[in-house]
Amino acid sequence: MAIRFGIIVMIMRFKGKMKDILKATRLEYRQITESNGHILLLLIQPVLIIILFGAVLPPEHSQYPYYKHTIASMLSIVVIFISAQMTSLRIVTERAPYGPLSRETLGIGRASIISGKLNANFLFAGIQCILIYLMGVNVFEIENSILILIVLLVTSFFSLSMGLLFSVFAKNKDQASQLVMLTVLVFLVLSGAIVKIPETSILYDVSQEIPMTLSLNSLVSVMNAENDISWNIAKMLSFGIFCLLVSAFKFSIEKG
């Protein structure tokens, strides 16, 4: 009898948590879609970047030895930067002096707020990834593989989670934006997107485990139809989940 009662209590708590997350997701969706101009910008910016990058490539670009590595680097950095920017201001702008958190009136727990913000933003980030994938396949003439889209979506999940982490820890909007810029620059350097890091470097082992390198290497592997990318995908998902858990914990213990 006690076990049955315990199971019922757990089910009721789970249902309550799901209702909170759904409510938080709807609230975040309404906030994102308040401005049609904002939505338009979210959808246009990745397309414009791909078109501009494709326009500056020489006609014989596909013959270059590092062509696929360059394209993979560009796709990874675009997804990471755009996705992280989407969520990096979602929490910090709801704190004073920018605005009060709405959880008091809605009765939503802070961990559920984090989940709701991730869900709503991932919807738009997913659309961005689809656009990037479609444009990339046509503009850069890369292999039309659904695995490329999967890598982009997983990269976006990590980046959204990282953005929420920055938003929770940042004291103001400027600090959140600076954290995103600094992290993207560090990723850009350590991933070997600009200059390949030699295996003898003390940073080589670290550089191979950062999310952008995992994303970049996965994309190159798919384009070359070689190597299993499941381990890289698992690592990126783990990084994203870790960022979410830390964000939810930090946000939950905040006062006020």
Dihedral (C-alpha) 194, 199, 200, 204: value to the nearest 10 degrees?
70
**CB of 164 closer than 8 Å to CB of 244:** yes
Task: Look at residue 104 and tell me whether its pLDDT is greater than 50.
Answer: no
Average pLDDT rounded to a whole number, residues 230-241: 96
**CB of 119 closer than 8 Å to CB of 113:** no
Higher per-residue confidence, 232 vs 96: 232
Question: What pTM did the predictor assign?
Answer: 0.89
- Minimal CA–CA distance to 91: which of 188, 136, 15, 24? 24
Report pLDDT for 2. 61
Tokens of 55: 């326009």
HSE-CB for 114 with a 13 A CA cutoff? 23
Average pLDDT rounded to a whole number, residues 80-95: 88
Instruction: Report pLDDT digits (tens) over 183-218.
Output: 999 999 998 888 888 888 888 888 899 999 999 999
Share of the chain above pLDDT 70, in %: 86
